[in-house]
Every structure is written in C-alpha cells, then in structure tokens.
C-alpha cells in the first residue's frame, strides 16, 4: 500500500481514549479514507498492520456484533492470498478491524504505466482467483473487484484486498461496488441475484483493462454506463491488442457475459481453463465447464465419513468394471446424506464420468420430476459446449435414445430435438412404452459413458412414474455400467417408503449405507473445519462440539448461530470465543429450532416472503412470492438477499431460489395454523393460474387449489385438477392422473357439478392403465350414460372393450365391440350367414380401395374418426375372439378391418391390421403371403418412426410364425428380445408366457426361469389380470424345480381368477396344462391326476384346436400315464397300459412340432419296454436319435436316457443301464429338478451323494448338458 509519512497523534489519541481499545498498536499513518471508512497503517511488536476504522457503523453492541460476524465469516475463509484478520473491536470513532498489512503497489498503478502482456495478466489473475473462489465457497461476494483492490507485491504475487463491501449473495439497496466494473445484476439492470459470478464479471472487466489499457465501456453518465454493461455488445480485446491469443480473448469475453449463466459457474471452473489456456482451442473458452455450485453454496470438507465414502467408492469401481446396480445412503434429516454422495459424484464428474442429479420433493406434482430435472440439467450443459464437443455429446444421446427417441419427447422436448427424433402422432396410448423408453435411455447413457451415476435425492418422496422407470431398469442394470445412487430419510414416517424402494430395486440394491451420528472426534473435526485456518483451543472446540451434538446439519447451524451472535471473532491468529455469552445464548440442539431462531431475526415481511416460498415448494420464483405477498418484485428480491445472508436460501436459475435444506422449509411451515396454510396455498394457486402456457404451472396450480380453500372454491379445484389429470395422461403418468382426477371428482361433488363424459373417460383410462380394471369400467359406464353423441359413444365403447380384453373377459369385450360398431352404424350381424356375407362385401370393398387407390388414405374429419374407431373395435374384437378361441370370428374381424384400414391409409391402424392379416395367412399355411403382409406393415411402422408400432409388427410376425408352425418360437423370441421395451404389457407377457412354455416343454428350466423373471420385471403390482394369466408359467417352473407349495399356490391363483370368469376357455386350458404339469412333476399321479384328466376330457377339445404352448398338456398326460404303468401292480398293468396307449395316441395327434414328435417317439419306446420288448425300444430310440440331437431339449434327453436305461436293465445290461441313468441324473442336476434326481436314485441307485437346491437359479444355459449327453447316448445305443 502507499502510505503517508508522519505520525497522526490525533488518530492515536482517539484509540487510546477508547475504553477497552488496544494500547499496544501504534498508528503510523493514514493510507486512505472514504465516506464510511478510514484506513491506517499501524505497528505492533515491530510488525506493520492495516487498521480499518468503520466510521459508518455504530460502536454500540449491535454495531460491534455486525462487524464481529463479518470478521468471523472472513476469518473462516482460509486462503494465503487473502489478508488475515487479527482483531476486531470498538473505539470512540466506531468499530475497527486490524488486518494483515500487504506491501506492494495497486494493480491500477501498473496498468497506468503500461498494459500488461498476456503472460503477466494470466499469472496475476491466477493468483487472485483461488482466494476469490474460497470466499465464494464460504457464501461471500467481494462486490468490488477492481485494480485498486489488487496489490502486487515485490515478488510479483497478486493479493486481493478490501472486502469492505463483502456480504452474502443477493441484491442490495443501491449500486454496490465501482460502477465501471459492476455486473448487470449488481447495478440492478438485470433482475438476477448477485453471487460469485458477479465478481467473475468484474474480473473479466479488470482483465480487459489490464491487457488493453482501456475500459470495455465508457460513459460519463452513470445510468448510461450501467445500460452498456447490461446491453452493449461485449468488445473483443483483440480489436485493441491483436496479438492476444484467441483462447485468452475468448476467456475474457466469457467472463463478461451479460447473463450469469453464460459465465464461468465458479472460480474453480475458471482455474481449470486457465491451466489449459496455453494449449486449448478458442472454442473451449466459450463453453461452460462441468457444472459447479453457485457462488453461494458452501461445500466444506467431508468429516467423519471415511468408511461410508469408501463403501461408495468401492461400489463405483464395480460400476466402472461393468457391474451396475443400486446403492442407498440412509439416515435422519441433516445427517449429511447428500453431502456424502456429492463427494463421490464430484470426483466422478472430474474424471469424465456422467452424473445425473434429480431430487424428489414431497409437494412436486410433476410426474417424473427428478428424472426430468436430471436430464434437463445435463442438456443445459451440452447446449454450451464447443461445436465439436457438442456434436460428440449429441451423438452419445442419440445412441442412448435409440429407437425410443420419439417417445422421449414427453420427458424432454429439448432432448427429442437434439437427437432429431421424429414427431409421431397419437402417442398418448404408449404410456408403458414411454416408461420403458426412459429406462432404456438412462441405461444407454451408462453404456455410452462406460460409467455413470443417477443420483436421486430423497427417494422417500419418490413419485410413481419414476418408480416405474426404476423398476424397468433393474433387469438390465446389473450388466450396465450405471449406479442408481439414492438417499433417503430413515425415520419412522419414512420407513415404509424406504422399504418400498428396496423392494422396487430388488437384488440390484446391493449397497446400503447407514449414517449414524458423528462421534466426538468427528464433531470436533467438523467444528474446526468450519472455522477455517484460525485456531481455537481444544477445550473451546470441544465445548462447541458437545453443545452441537452429532448431526452435521445441526453442528453447522450451531456454529453459524454462534457467529451470527457475534460470540466468535478473530484475535491475533486465533479465535476468541465469548464463553460467557455462549452460556447466555439460548440455543437448541434441535436443527429445526436452530433454523427457527435464525428465522426469528428476520423482519415480518421477510418471514412472510420466505413462508410463501416454503408453501410453494423447495424451489420458487421471486416474482411469484412477490405476487402472493402483494409486494413489489424488487422488494422480494431484497428480502431474499437478506435470507441468503442468513444461509436460508440460495439463488437458482433465472429468478429462482431454493432452500438450502429441507429442514429450513419444514421449520417455516411448522408454525402455521391449518387455516393460514390453506389461505397461502389458495393465493399461490390463484397466481399460478394466471400464468398460462407453462405445463409445470398446471400441475402446481392443481395441487395448491386442492390444498387451499377447497370448500370455498370447489369449482377451481375441479377445473385445475381436471386439467392436470389430462396433462398427466398425456405425459404417460396414469397413476398421477388418477390422483388429480379423483380430487376433481370430489370437488365436483362438493360444487354440485356434473362432470362431462370426457372426465369419466379420462378417469377410466387412468384406472385402466394402472391395472384397476373394475374401477375403470365403472367410470367408463358413467361416461356412456352421460354421452349422447354416437361417435363419442363408440370411442368410449372401444375403451371398454380394451379394458375387458386386458382383464381377460373376452365375452364382455366382444359385446362392447358389437355395441361400438352399432353406434358407428356398422352393426355385426348375429347370424353366421349374415356375418359372412357382410364380411365378404366389406373385404371386397377394402381390397378395391387398396388396389385402385381410390379413396385410399383420404378420409378426413369425423369420417376419419369413424374409420379409426372401426379399426380399433375390429382389432379389439379379433383379440377377444382369440381369447375366446373363436378362430373363425377372429378371421372375420381382421378381414372386416381391411376397408377402414385402407380408407385411413398408412398409419398405426393400417400397420396393425396388415400385421393381423399376416397372422391369418400364417395360420392358413400361406407363409409367403404372410411375409408380404408383415413386410408391408413393417415399412409403414418404420416410416412413422414409432418404435412401439415396429415392435408390435415384429411381435405379430413371431406369433404368426409360431402359430403357423414355421418355427418353434425362435422368431417370436427374437422379437421379444429386440423390442421388449416397446411392446404393450399384455402383448409382451403373452409372448413371454409362450416362450416359457416352449422352454418348459423342452426342459430348459433355467432359461424358462430367466425369461419368466424378465416378464415379471415388466409386471406391476396393479396388473392383476396379466399376472393371473402369467401364473400358469410360474406354476410349471416351480413344479419342475420341485417347489411344491409355490407351484400349488400358482394353480390356486389361476382357479381364483377363473372363478370370476368361468366362461374363459383359453385360461381354462392354461389351468389344465399348468395343473397337470404340477401333478406329474411332483409325482402326484393318483386320484388328483385322474380327476383332472377326466375333467379335461369332458371339454371335448381336439389336440389341433388349442394353442401350441397349451399342447404341453398332452406331453404331461402321457408322462403321467407311463409313470402309472411303471408303478402299478401286476393286476392293474393292463388297464394302465391301455390308458397310456390312448394318451400316446392323443399326443401323436397334437405333435405338429419337432419337440412334440420327439416326446411321442420316446413315449412309444417306453411302451415297448412296458410290453417286454426292450430291444425294440432301443432300436426305436436309435432311429430317432438324429432327430433328437439338435433339439436342445434336456427334458426329452432325460426321458430318452431313462427309457434307454430301463430297456438295458430289462436286457440284463446293468452297467450300461446305470451309465444312461447317470446321464439322466446329470441332466436333472444341471436343470435343478430335485424330484427327478430322487426318482433316478430310487430306481437305479446312482448319484447317492448328489443334491439339488430346489430354489433354482436364473439364466443358466443348458446348451452343454442337453447336447453332450445325447452324443454319449448315441454311442451307447450303437453298443447295445
């Protein structure tokens, strides 16, 4: 500093006269003064100091408390390039500070001499940024960064001085700082809070001046100068100094961006670019670095959580090696859950890993809110990347989105635009596929980054839609390098939600970290870390630690409360703690009480504004709370600035603010009466309602109206929640839609309103899409009673038919189809002849339209709606006919759809019906025609860009190939694998059940259980009907595994389902097939077996008339009859053999696939053994061996080995018989068939020490064990 010479005796006298003033500090000279400050050079013990006398502040206790608090805050900032504070006190002239004296010259002197070269400027700014960033982390803003406040020492080191205007973030009255360096928000020209980025703006202006010798903006008029900072183009410093490097110039211009969001987000981000500057591309400095905390978010050192952090780090390492999963950090509020996770995510982001962050809120009605926020935050970062980096990032997004891009538009329109996803109409019916698309996108990001974290904060408040996304992720999560990292409170109120999250994530949740209170040593460390570099005696630190307790949030609140009370101040290299004042300070050890004490210091207006913000949510807009409170926005921003200074809120994006902790918000709301809170919600709703156009406001307005004075304005509650319910349906959030609409229904009753029919339709759809079929039908019936328009009635009836098919009620579905077609003027004739004639006429007309193109795709207006509904109803009718096993009616329904489909032209209905006709062609054994129809449908679906429609067509191709006998389900399996996430739940489960049945029939139980697990992962708890149909597969798997109680339970579940729908032949046959499988696998081939076969026989079913997967009944009937023969007494042998012969004959009629024919051949061989012709049995098996070999069917191989062993034993070849018995045993062990292991042991005495775990496994391949034993058995048969 420049000092004036001479002793100022008057000043010294003033200090000596002050009571309690320091008497050992000698004032040497005056260094400078302003309206409110006089700065002196002083000396103590041979060392010089800076003495700052604050004449603008009162020297009373209140003024001294203010200066002690500010001094303590600066004292907590530990950085060597900031001047240290040595003392704070009061004199007759006002409070004073004693600071470190910094020798050197102001940067302004150097600049006046000549502009700096680039290297010198960079070196100086690299000295200044670290202390500035440290101050920002502590929640402080300098507000007057300029050349006069940077001192360059003799060694060339730059030091930042004069925090005279320092204060917490936020606006303040008047224009703080030096106008020539002030950011637009600091002058009031930009309605944004002042934070650390305002200092970075001033640093940019300083750099511009330093290297050019000129100010970027110049005007003698203060208002004009402020306007130029806010609106004038940013000048390029190379226009004055062309020799400056482009990257350096880009850095300066980015610092001077008008919008704080376009500047560097933090000092750390700026330092990162400074280090890269000599080699970096210019565009890098026009782009934001990795996201960082706003200037006001102080993040201290993590203390006392080393073990917990190590657990998270170890789990992350597993993710980087390809093993994804889920982890959760649990603990009470304020335990530091988010802080612990942030320690990991910060490190991951710095290494180039992807971190997506979303927070759940108890009052956020927006579906998928945490995931939307996480994706949007990531996209905002990408928007500001350099062109090349941005394009690479967008390519990653495109690959992650895959075919689901169009479905993601509801999640984020910006994302859909970035990945160039086509606009696809009529997406509202794709709610299940939307959830799957979001899940696939998140998993895809993990694959793209080869290591990503999805951090979801406070999952105890998780919304239903986000839950569904996470449920759909768990099947693929273990094989994806993605960690779902959650935090949750674990108090009594949230234990149920915590348990639900654990159940949702199932086995993928393999890491649980519980945060206990910090121990004594950790609390002492935490207190010390919050006090910066200044020392406090061990006894004093322990005193604070003991009083604060073991909750990190409470510890922080306690330390800051002590600082706010002025009880802690710097004192010559240490802290001085006023222990007497501490004893008098009435501080609670409860965090909420501490927050309330901090709030109590606010004015009534301030508390009103903050309470309005708390009622709005954790995040809120300044102008919204201003309108709610009836004050000017400028006044609200000033109040929020004060709240920032008390660490209650922090600035968010735009004019938004957020509470620094949920406990703060909870404390603000805790003292309100119910009536006051309802009034506040009402005011918020009314303000939100006036803001049209924002979808988020629709949800929020509905919520606040519902929580407001509902009894006074029930009409508003109804209208707002109806709008929110419709929007939620469009946003693929049926559970949330139902909640909104139920509130609307209650409000309508209170207001004596009669809801329109479309209200009941919306409510019915929301119920149907959450599996509440009975409730859905009730609401749809209400809509029918109120709807006079025939076209709209047909639309409601179409929904009724779809609900009935989802609930597996085919007769009721067909009746709804008939009523709907009648409403459209296209009634279905009841007689067969009339139905056939009208179908042929409709088909002829449809074919003519398709061939001539006259009228093809030209229908419009209500006519188009009419044709679309016809197509939907015929589609529903065809599906219901399949369930009812009325194949001829199914064909007629598909043929009748040709005309409306062609009138509609290429579109969803057209593609669906072409695929349906392909299935009919396959069933008629016209594979070439079927392929042409499938291909035509596939082209339309691809042109539309609808992945759900593409998947549906391929699903139909697989189903048709399977039904037509072209393959044994391989095409269907491929479609289910490649398009699983895009298929409707019912279609997917139908296909999975068919695949499982084929695998069970072959004995590939491991693979069947793996497929069953995939299907179960898609099945939500609300989908009772689909679950009941799926239980047939579950019963068969459990039976093969030997889990008798579970298998029987599934059979009983099927019985209960059928009890409510007795006339459902498809499910009846599923029950018989599942039940006979259970009986035979469990060895129960006595009276229950006889009753079951008799009941099935009474149906009069022909083997060829039932579905291929249901023909497993005949296999197990045959196996059961043969087992009876081997176990029967001699007197019953003839009767048993006769029954077995009949069963084998029925199996032969049903055997239209290779596995069924193989079972038949083995069964015939077993009959030969029973007839005493073992050599004939061996020859029969040898003749069939080449056909058996490629089947990959362990069950057939097992039965073949068993029959061969029996035949060899009958031929008196015990050694070879035991060899083949061991083959059968090996297969039983590999596929984990405990009952069959027991049977082989009992019959042949092999494998006495072999055991099988009946719980089974998932996903194990049987390829080795089903083919290798066959090769050995083939050699054995030749030896025999």
The answer to whether position 124 is within a domain reads no
In a domain, 622, yes or no: yes
User: Would the pLDDT of 385 be above 90?
Assistant: no
Q: Cβ atoms within 10 A of the Cβ of 598, count?
A: 19
Instruction: Give the tokens for residue 126.
Output: 């690299």
Q: What residue numbers bound the domain in which 542 lies?
A: 520-589
Q: Report the Cα–Cα distance between both ends of the chain, in Å, rounded.
A: 109
From 383, 394, 389, select the one nearest 283 (Cα to Cα).
Answer: 389
- Listed in sequence order, the residues at least 6 apart from 788 whose beta carbon sits closer than 8 Å to its beta carbon are none
Provide the token pair at 1211: 């031929």
Kindly report the backbone phi and psi dihedral angles of residue 14, in degrees, each rounded to the nearest multiple of 5, phi listed first: -60, -40
Residue 164: pLDDT over 60: no
Look at residue 550 in the predicted model and tell me its pLDDT. 83
1187-1224 pLDDT per residue, tens: 777 778 899 999 999 999 999 999 999 999 999 999 99
Q: What is the pLDDT of residues 105-126, one digit of tens each?
A: 999 999 999 999 998 998 888 8
Please choose, from the candidates 629, 707, 718, the residue with its C-alpha nearest in 3D space to the C-alpha of residue 675. 707
State what percent of residues in the chain have pLDDT above 90: 44
Statement to judge: residues 651 and 734 lie in one domain? no
Global confidence as pTM: 0.75
pLDDT exceeds cutoff 70 at 206: yes
Residues 1122 and 1203 in one domain: no
- Segment 258-310, tens digit of pLDDT: 988 888 888 888 888 887 775 444 444 444 444 444 333 445 678 899 999 99
* Same domain (yes/no): 1010, 1127: yes
Q: What is the pLDDT of residue 1021?
A: 44
Compute the average pLDDT of residues 498-508. 91
The total of structural domains in the chain comes to 6
Tokens of 1173: 């012709």
Q: How high is the pLDDT of residue 1024? A: 46
Residue spans of beta strands (DSSP E) within 23-173: 26-33, 37-44, 47-54, 85-91, 94-100, 105-106, 140-141, 150-152, 158-160, 167-168
- Phi and psi (nearest 5°) for 1172? 85, 20
pLDDT tier, 182 (very low <50, low <70, confident <90, very high otherwise): very high
**In-domain check, residue 398:** yes
Element containing residue 511 per DSSP (H, E): strand 509-514
Residue 1114 pLDDT level (bands cut at 50, 70, 90):
very high
Same domain for 651 and 536 = no
Tell me, letter by letter, the H, E, C secondary structure of 249-285: HHHHHHHCCCCHHHCCCCHHHHHHHHHHHHHCCHHHH
Last residue of a domain, one of 1152, 1187, 1213: 1152
Q: How many helices (H) and strands (E) does the chain have?
A: 56, 20
Q: In this structure, are 412 and 492 located in the same domain?
A: yes
Look up residue 535 and give its DSSP letter. Answer: B
Please report the pLDDT score of residue 466 as a whole number: 93
Last residue of a domain, one of 589, 614, 637: 589
Mean pLDDT on 733-751: 91
What three-state secondary structure class fits 457?
strand
- 1092 and 1006 within one domain: yes
Q: Is the pLDDT of residue 5 over 50?
A: no
CB 471 within 8 A of CB 441: no
Best mean pLDDT range from 23-27, 427-431, 565-569 = 565-569
pLDDT band per the 50, 70, 90 thresholds, residue 188: confident
333-384 tens-digit pLDDT: 888 999 999 999 989 988 888 999 999 988 788 888 899 989 988 988 887 7
- Let me know: does 1140 contact 1168? Beta carbons within 8 Å: no
> Each residue of 443-468: pLDDT tens digit?
999 999 999 999 999 999 999 889 98
pLDDT at 2 over 60: no
In a domain, 781, yes or no: no
Give me the phi and psi of 79, to 5 degrees please: -150, 135
Instruction: Report pLDDT for 830.
Output: 87
Residue 939 located in a structural domain? no
Same domain for 380 and 499, yes or no, is yes
Q: What is the pLDDT of residue 499?
A: 93
Q: What are phi and psi of 28, to 5 degrees?
A: -95, -50
Residue linked to tokens 């203390």: 303
Please tell me the predicted confidence (pLDDT) of residue 288: 43
Closest by alpha carbon to 689, among 712, 705, 677? 705
Distance CA 996, CA 1156 (A): 15
Task: Please provide residue 358's backbone torsions phi and psi, each rounded to the nearest 5 degrees.
Answer: -140, 145
Same domain, 685 and 654: no
**Of the given ranges (423-432, 657-666, 1112-1121), which has the lowest mean pLDDT?**
423-432
Please report whether residue 835 resides in a domain.
Answer: no
**Residues 482, 536: one domain?**
no
pLDDT at 1110 over 90: no
**Same domain assignment for residues 1084 and 1018:** yes
In angstroms, rounded to a whole number, what is the distance separating the alpha carbons of residues 701 and 683? 10
Confidence check: pLDDT of 688 > 80: yes
39 three-class SS: strand
Asked if pLDDT for residue 1082 goes beyond 80, the answer is: yes
Please count the other Cβ atoms lying within 10 Å of the Cβ belonging to residue 863.
Answer: 12
The per-residue pLDDT for 554 is 80
Confidence of residue 180 (pLDDT cuts 50, 70, 90): very high
Average pLDDT over residues 575-581: 80
Residue 178: inside a domain: no
Residue 869 confidence class, pLDDT cut points 50, 70, 90: very high
Q: Are residues 1134 and 1199 in the same domain?
A: no
Average pLDDT on 990-1001 reads 88
Query: Which of 32-41, 260-269, 652-661 comes out lowest in average pLDDT?
Result: 652-661
439 lies in the same domain as 496:
yes
pLDDT of residue 1028 exceeding 90: no
Instruction: Name the DSSP letter for residue 230.
Output: H
Instruction: Tell me if 956 sits within 8 A of 911, measured CB to CB.
Output: no
pLDDT at 815: 94
Find the angle CA(1050)-CA(1103)-CA(963) to the nearest 5 degrees: 80
- Is residue 405 in some structural domain? yes
Average pLDDT in the 772-787 region? Answer: 92
pLDDT at 828: 92
Q: Helices 1263-1279 & 1214-1230, crossing angle to 10 degrees?
A: 170
Average pLDDT, the chain: 84
Single residue among 671, 701, 721 that ends a domain in this structure: 671
Q: Which helix (H) or strand (E) holds 63?
A: helix 61-75
Whole-angstrom Cα distance, residue 256 to residue 234?
Answer: 7
Q: Residue 501 pLDDT > 90, yes or no? A: yes
SS3 992: helix
- Between 144 and 1018, residue with greater pLDDT: 144
Q: What is the mean pLDDT of residues 820-826?
A: 94
């Amino acid at each position: 500093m420049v000092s004036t010479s001479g002793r100022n005796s008057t000043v010294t006298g003033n200090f000596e006269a002050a009571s309690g003033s320091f008497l050992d500090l000698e004032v040497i000279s005056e260094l400078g003064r302003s309206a409110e400050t006089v700065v002196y050079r002083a000396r103590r013990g041979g060392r010089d100091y800076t003495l700052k006398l604050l004449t603008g502040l009162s020297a009373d206790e209140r003024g001294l408390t203010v200066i002690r608090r500010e001094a303590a805050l600066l004292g907590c900032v530990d950085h060597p390039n900031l001047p240290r504070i040595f003392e704070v006190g009061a004199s007759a002239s006002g409070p004073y500070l004693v600071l470190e004296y910094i020798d050197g010259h102001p940067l302004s002197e150097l600049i006046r001499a000549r502009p700096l070269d680039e290297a010198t400027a960079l070196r100086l700014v690299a000295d200044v940024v670290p202390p500035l960033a440290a101050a920002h982390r502590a929640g402080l803003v300098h507000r007057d960064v300029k050349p006069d406040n940077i001192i360059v020492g003799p060694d060339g080191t730059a030091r930042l001085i004069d925090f005279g205007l320092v204060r917490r973030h936020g606006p303040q009255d008047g224009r703080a700082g030096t106008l020539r360096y002030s950011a637009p928000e600091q002058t009031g020209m930009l309605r944004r809070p002042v934070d650390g980025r305002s200092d970075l703006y001033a640093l940019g202006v300083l750099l511009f001046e330093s290297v050019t010798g000129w100010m970027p903006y110049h005007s003698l008029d203060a208002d004009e100068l402020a306007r130029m900072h806010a609106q004038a183009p940013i000048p390029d410093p190379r226009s004055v100094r062309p020799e400056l490097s482009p990257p350096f110039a880009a850095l300066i211009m980015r610092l001077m961006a008008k919008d704080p969001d376009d500047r560097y987000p933090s000092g750390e981000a700026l330092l990162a670019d400074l280090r890269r500057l000599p080699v970096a591309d210019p565009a890098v400095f026009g782009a934001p670095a990795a996201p960082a905390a706003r200037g006001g978010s102080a993040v201290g050192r993590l203390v006392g959580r080393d073990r917990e952090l190590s657990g998270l780090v170890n789990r992350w390492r597993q993710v980087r090696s390809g093993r994804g999963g889920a982890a959760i950090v649990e603990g009470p509020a304020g335990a530091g859950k988010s802080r612990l996770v942030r320690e990991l995510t910060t490190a991951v982001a710095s290494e180039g890993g992807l971190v997506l962050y979303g927070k759940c809120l108890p009052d956020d009605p927006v579906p998928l809110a945490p995931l939307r926020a996480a994706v949007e935050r990531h996209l905002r970062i990408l928007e500001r990347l350099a062109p090349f980096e941005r394009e690479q990032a967008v390519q990653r997004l495109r690959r992650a989105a895959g075919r689901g891009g169009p479905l993601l538009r509801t999640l984020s329109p910006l994302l859909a635009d970035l990945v160039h996803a086509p606009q696809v109409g009529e997406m509202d019916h794709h709610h299940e596929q939307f959830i799957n698309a979001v899940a696939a996108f998140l998993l895809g990001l993990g694959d793209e980054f080869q290591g990503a974290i999805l951090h979801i904060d406070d999952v105890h408040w998780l919304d239903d839609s986000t839950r569904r996304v996470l449920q759909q992720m768990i099947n693929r999560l273990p094989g994806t390098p993605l960690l779902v990292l959650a935090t949750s409170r674990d108090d009594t109120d949230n234990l149920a939600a915590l348990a639900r999250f654990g159940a949702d994530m199932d086995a993928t949740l393999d890491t649980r970290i519980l945060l206990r209170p910090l121990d004594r040593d950790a609390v002492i460390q935490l207190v010390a870390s919050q006090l910066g570099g200044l020392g406090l005696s061990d006894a004093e630190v322990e005193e604070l630690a003991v009083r604060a307790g073991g909750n990190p949030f409470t510890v922080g609140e306690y330390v800051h409360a002590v600082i706010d009370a002025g009880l802690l101040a710097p004192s010559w290299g240490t802290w001085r703690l006023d222990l007497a004042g501490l004893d008098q300070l009435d501080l609670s050890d409860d965090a909420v009480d501490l927050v309330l004490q901090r709030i109590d210091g606010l004015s009534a207006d301030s508390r009103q504004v903050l309470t309005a913000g708390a009622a709005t949510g954790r995040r809120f807009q300044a102008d919204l709370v201003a309108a709610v409170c009836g004050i000017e926005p400028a006044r609200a921003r000033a109040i929020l600035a004060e709240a920032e200074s008390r660490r209650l809120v922090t600035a968010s994006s735009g004019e938004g603010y957020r509470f620094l902790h949920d406990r703060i918000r909870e404390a603000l709301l805790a003292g309100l009466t119910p009536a006051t809170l309802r009034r506040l919600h009402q005011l918020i709703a009314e303000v939100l309602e006036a803001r049209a156009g924002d979808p988020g406001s629709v949800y929020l307005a509905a919520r606040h109206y519902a929580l407001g004075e509902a009894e006074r304005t029930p009409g508003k509650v109804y209208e707002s929640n109806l709008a929110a319910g419709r929007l939620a349906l469009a946003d693929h959030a049926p559970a949330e839609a139902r909640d909104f609409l139920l509130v609307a229904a209650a409000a309508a009753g209170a207001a004596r309103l009669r809801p329109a029919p479309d209200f009941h339709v919306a409510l019915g759809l929301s119920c149907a899409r959450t599996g509440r079929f009975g409730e859905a039908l009730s609401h749809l019936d209400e809509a029918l009673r109120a709807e006079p328009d025939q076209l709209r009635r047909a639309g409601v009836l179409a929904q009724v038919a779809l609900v009935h098919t989802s609930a597996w009620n085919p007769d009721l579905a067909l009746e709804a189809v008939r009523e709907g077609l009648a409403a459209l003027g296209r009634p279905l004739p009841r007689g067969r002849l009339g139905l056939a004639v009208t179908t042929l006429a409709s088909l002829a007309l449809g074919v003519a339209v398709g061939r001539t193109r006259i009228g093809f795709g030209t229908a419009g207006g209500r006519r188009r709606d009419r044709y679309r509904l016809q197509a939907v109803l015929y589609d529903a009718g065809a599906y219901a006919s399949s369930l009812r096993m009325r194949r001829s009616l199914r064909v007629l329904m598909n043929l009748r759809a040709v005309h409306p489909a062609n009138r509609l032209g290429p579109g969803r209905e057209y593609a669906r019906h072409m695929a349906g006709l392909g299935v009919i062609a396959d069933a008629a054994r016209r594979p070439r025609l079927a392929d042409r129809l499938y291909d035509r449908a596939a082209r339309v679906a691809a042109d539309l860009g609808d992945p759900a429609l593409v998947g549906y067509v391929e699903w139909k191709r697989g189903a048709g190939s399977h039904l037509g006998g072209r393959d044994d389900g391989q095409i269907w399996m491929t479609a289910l694998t490649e398009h699983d996430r895009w298929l409707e739940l019912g279609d997917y489960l139908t296909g999975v059940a068919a695949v499982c049945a084929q695998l069970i029939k072959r004995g590939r139980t491991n693979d069947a259980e793996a497929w069953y697990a995939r299907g179960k992962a898609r099945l939500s708890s609300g989908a009772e009907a689909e679950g009941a149909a799926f239980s047939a597969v579950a019963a068969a798997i459990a039976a093969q595994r030997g889990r008798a109680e579970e298998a029987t339970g599934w059979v009983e579940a099927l019985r209960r389902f059928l009890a409510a729908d007795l006339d459902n032949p498809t499910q009846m046959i599923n029950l018989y097939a599942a039940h006979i499988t259970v009986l035979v696998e469990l060895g129960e081939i006595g009276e229950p077996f006889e009753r079951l076969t008799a009941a099935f026989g009474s149906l009069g079913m022909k083997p060829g008339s039932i579905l291929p997967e249901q023909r497993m009944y005949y296999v197990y009937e045959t196996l059961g009859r043969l087992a009876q023969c081997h176990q029967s007494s001699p007197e019953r042998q003839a009767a048993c053999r006769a029954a077995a012969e009949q069963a084998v004959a029925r199996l032969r009629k049903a055997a239209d696939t290779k596995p069924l024919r193989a079972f038949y051949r083995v069964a015939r061989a077993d009959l030969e053994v029973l007839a005493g012709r073992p050599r004939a049995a061996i020859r029969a098996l040898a003749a069939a061996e080449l056909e058996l070999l490629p089947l990959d069917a362990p069950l057939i191989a097992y039965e073949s080995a068993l029959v061969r062993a029996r035949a060899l034993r009958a031929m008196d070849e015990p050694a070879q018989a035991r060899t083949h018995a061991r083959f059968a045993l090996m297969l039983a062990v590999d596929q984990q068939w405990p009952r069959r292991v027991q049977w082989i042991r009992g019959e042949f005495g092999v494998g006495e020490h072999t055991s099988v775990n009946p719980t089974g496994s998932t996903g194990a391949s049987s390829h080795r064990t089903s083919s290798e034993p066959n090769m050995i058995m083939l050699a054995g048969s030749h030896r025999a």
